Structure 1
Amino acid sequence: MSDSGRRMRTVLHADMDAFFVSVELRRRPELAGQPVVVGGTGNRGVVAAASYEARRFGVHSALPSTVARRRCPHAVFLPGDHTLYSEVSRQVREIFERYTPLVEPLSLDEAFLDVTGARRLFGDGRAIAAQIRAAIADELDLGCSVGVAPNKFLAKLASVEAKPRAHRDRIDPGEGVTVIQPGSEQEFLDPLPVQRLWGVGPATLDKLQRLGVVTVADLRRLDLSVLSTSLGANQARHLAALAVGADDRDVEPDREAKSIGHEETYAQDKHSPAEIRRELIRLIDAVTQRMRKQGVGARTWTLKVRFAGFVTITRSVTTQNTVDESQEIIDLLTPVLAGIDPSPGVRLLGVSGSNLGTPVAQLTFDDVADERPDWHAATDALDEIRDKFGSDAIGRGSSIVGGRIRTIKRGGQQWGPDQPPSREISHEDDATR
């Protein structure tokens, strides 16, 4: 597509307002107007979302829950419900798709939409954004802010300007829709602080400030050779393009997942190899089950371990074939785990599969000669029982705590552990098989 053609595009960035909190308030309307925080409620949790009332006290996403409690002691803390948020996110996307099939989700609560082809039917970008906001409010009782611009980069910046803002003494409701018209890009960009550009983190900001760059306008006026000397040629070209609002990326509605995984942060550090291995098997079981539901497997499997001192290590194993069987992955990663000393205390454990593709089951002569168990048949039976009776209907012996199977839900532990259970029952390591 030519540059002139791309400039004629109309791209929306729709961003739900305090999404997780807003969803919770629908079933807890008595909390409306109060400072509400959603996320990990335990000491090692983090904030997933904060109501604007909580933001007035400096509470924001990714803040440790302990810090959030100090800043806003009277806040109501709620554990996250990823299953519910995913369902509501699906409903939001259905509304987006009434206006265009070109929807690129970025997360549960935001997405890009290319509505260029919808203008003749629904009106210009501002009109479409207003219709989407009205539909979400009327049908789902949720708020949404929308940026409208000729490309994705500018649309995302515009949506930030459209959102409500929390100040210490008040909450400004925001305009709801902010439009950057073609030809007005520089007028919008120039006054912005340079850290609003993608790729300007603390280290880059420090280098730019040494060059006297504070705003986007300062960056735009800086000679590219000077910028390259300080940042390197690639990053210099990247930031110079953003400073004039250039972004030729398409809205991609069918982005495939690059990896599937899950990780858990523990309320108390784990030191025992047997204990860690039980957790590893739970994670593998959950991740491979998700893969089978999506009809994919992985060739590369990665183990992630974070110790009590926040030192994090990863170890990966790549197989010849794409696999999705729990036992195969257990056999792959168990030797890897055995080479890691958990005695300092394991704070977090994670498993992920990448290099995704169609699973391949290859029977070798060794398999036949050794009369190894048919894990595929066992896995099929497990999946069938779980599909019919729920994920907690059957599981490995090592997953039983207090007489119940400890299941892993997609999105669970995303924001750290909640308050730990008062009692756990230990199991012998041989029960994990």
Structure 2
Amino acid sequence: MTTRKIIHIDMDAFYASVEQRDNPQLRGKPVVVGGNPNSRGVVCAASYEARRFGVRSAIPCAQAFRLCPQAIFVRPRFEVYRGISREIRRIFLAHTELVEPLSLDEAFLDVTQNKSGNPSATWLANQIRAQILEKTRLTASAGVAPNKFLAKIASDVNKPNGIFVIPPSRVEAYIEQLPIGRFFGIGKATEKKMHALGVFCGKDLKRFEEAELIQRFGKSGSWYYRISRGIDNREVKPHRVAKSVGVEETFARDIDQLDRIREILRELAIELERRLSKKQKSGKTITLKLRYDDFTTITRAESQPRYVSDAATFYEVAARLLELSEAGKRPIRLLGITLSNLDDPDHRESQLSLQLPLPFGEEHF
């Protein structure tokens, strides 16, 4: 069986780096891409200068301001980011057709067979990074490994603007010292359970048989068993199925007027139709999402007998689901509509987040 050669490319602080590139006054300064620090928005991205203060993606902008009062807050420009992402995608496709985007700023590439005919995935990864820099004036980091799980971890090791290689000969040693909390699929709760079993790293996890892990952790046990042995047979797939398409809005002030909530719901339904039309998708399951003023979040869903993609249906169903909530009686801070059970297999976005500096250096593979 041929050993696969997988590259994971991850742009460095992508949104923030674009803003620093386009505005020289922002270079070298802590930049936060997101909403106003006085709003309820969340951080989309943070420059490395801001990260030193603990600012991270997805935390509230108000918290980011408390952590780094000197940060410069910039509104996101998603059309610009998407345009640059398309340029980067073209670079990927010049080397291989097997490109699986995870988001605008990262992707897996299978270069086992590639258009350059070069057997070195390390060389290809460096070529791609150099071409991205030349084309966009932005830096990217790369991980090179025999599978997706390891390539994703490797791309974080020498960030920013670095490369890290895990050749087949080093897979076992690398995983054995991998802290258990860094394994994909192991969150804080599972990490505590692992610690209670005396499992603190990959070497500890390898002591368990698959059946025992399944007994303790359910279906995830099989995944833990495989990755503790460096086994990840997932292919790089250029097209993956989207699980859902949704739209939501967080309000600057809590809303308790039912008429206003219904008005916003109608606007969300129209926006959802627009997004689905752009993606040429329809679906069967409509989900209403509500977050109350105390941050309690609820969802209500209803499946349709046929595929739908129109705002009128979205609003009709969502308004009916709204009656099953306490909207109008309790203030709400967020409202959203999502369509799932889609019929079109042309899109997927997902994101893993793993970081681990380990003492292996770059070598060719």
User: What amino acid is the match of 1:10?
Assistant: K
Give the equivalent residue in structure 2 for 1:417.
Answer: none
Give the equivalent residue in structure 1 for 2:40.
Answer: 44
Listed as ranges, the matches of 1:191-210 within 5 Å are 191-210=177-196
Q: Does the 8 Å CA contact 2:250/2:333 hold for their aligned counterparts?
A: yes
SS in 2 for 1:121: coil
Q: CA deviation at 1:123?
A: 4.3
Listed as ranges, the matches of 1:76-225 within 5 Å are 76-118=72-114, 121-164=117-160, 176-224=162-210
Q: Does the 8 Å CA contact 1:119/1:125 hold for their aligned counterparts?
A: no
SS in 1 for 2:248: strand
SS in 1 for 2:325: coil
- For structure 2, the 5+ residue unaligned runs are 345-365
Give the equivalent residue in structure 1 for 2:309.
Answer: 324
Give the equivalent residue in structure 2 for 1:273.
Answer: 258
SS in 2 for 1:118: coil
Q: Does the 8 Å CA contact 2:245/2:340 hold for their aligned counterparts?
A: yes
Match of 1:17 among 12, 18, 21: 12
Q: Does the 8 Å CA contact 1:150/1:182 hold for their aligned counterparts?
A: yes
Q: CA deviation at 1:211?
A: 1.7
Match of 2:294 among 309, 312, 328: 309
Q: CA deviation at 1:122?
A: 3.6
SS in 2 for 1:183: helix
Match of 1:33 among 16, 24, 28: 28
Is the radius of gyration larger for structure 1 or structure 2?
1
Q: CA deviation at 1:353?
A: 1.2
CA pair 323-230 structure 1, distance change in 2 beyond 3 A: closer
Q: Does the 8 Å CA contact 1:44/1:267 hold for their aligned counterparts?
A: yes
Calculate the TM-score normalised by the size of structure 2. 0.89
CA pair 242-280 structure 1, distance change in 2 beyond 3 A: same
User: What amino acid is the match of 1:178?
Assistant: F
Match of 1:349 among 335, 353, 356: 335
Residue 62 (structure 1) aligned with residue 58 (structure 2): yes
Query: Which stretch shifts more, 308-317 or 42-51?
Result: 42-51
Q: CA deviation at 1:188?
A: 1.6
Give the equivalent residue in structure 2 for 1:396.
Answer: none
User: What amino acid is the match of 1:199?
Assistant: G
Calculate the TM-score normalised by the size of structure 1. 0.75
SS in 1 for 2:340: strand
C-alpha RMSD over aligned residues: 1.7
Separation in 2, partners of 1:293, 1:88: 19
Give the equivalent residue in structure 2 for 1:291.
Answer: 276
Q: Does the 8 Å CA contact 2:10/2:105 hold for their aligned counterparts?
A: yes
Q: CA deviation at 1:197?
A: 0.7
**1:41-75 CA deviation, whole Å, 9 max, x = no partner?**
24322222111111111111122222211111111
**Number of aligned residue pairs:** 342
Give the equivalent residue in structure 1 for 2:349.
Answer: none
Separation in 1, partners of 2:18, 2:155: 20
Q: Does the 8 Å CA contact 1:11/1:151 hold for their aligned counterparts?
A: yes
Q: Does the 8 Å CA contact 2:255/2:333 hold for their aligned counterparts?
A: yes
